[in-house]
Amino acid sequence: MATPLNVLFLCTHNSARSILAEALLNHLGQGKFKGYSAGSSPRDHQQPNPLGLQVLRDAGISTEGLYSKSWDAFAKPEAPHMDLIITVCDNAAGEVCPVWPGHPATAHWSYADPSAGNAPDADKLVAFHQTMLDIKRRIELFVSLPAEKLQAVTLQSSARGLAQS
């Protein structure tokens, strides 16, 4: 691929799973992929979950430039063209998405919310670590797909097939 494949990861608040996926794809993508993330309804002044940032840093993955944002930013004509949009939480998967410029391929990769509930931070840190490992495994499979599986014609079925991995 001459230009990187742009992938947008969506979740409701863009504070945990989608942020993890963005960072992991940019880390593992070797310049062939560019990860982005956004939320369908981030809260006012939403920030990435500090526990998510901690597990990324502990794994040696850069957190520079990660911030929570609305998916509206990627529906604008001047936004980067997305080749693939992946929802990573069930809430976002069930919402009516904006009309994305260029009509990118879509897929849903379901992950439990590691920040949900009232567990102590130590328990949530374990949940964030497990979620990061689950996302990492799927992204490693994704970035290792042969070039013909990443063509526009087959990208959607390739990405959706990984939801079973």
pLDDT of residue 93: 56
Domain extent listing, the chain: 5-152
Please state the rounded mean pLDDT for residues 42-61: 93
**Predicted local distance difference test score (pLDDT) of residue 18:** 97
On the question of pLDDT at 100 being above 80, the answer is no
Crossing angle, helix 17-28 and helix 121-143, to 10 degrees?
A: 40
At 165 the pLDDT is 73
What is the CATH T-level fold of the domain 5-152, as seen in this structure? Rossmann fold (3.40.50)
Is the pLDDT at 94 greater than 70, yes or no?
no
Question: Measuring CA to CA, which residue among 50, 44, 27, 31 is closest to residue 114?
Answer: 50
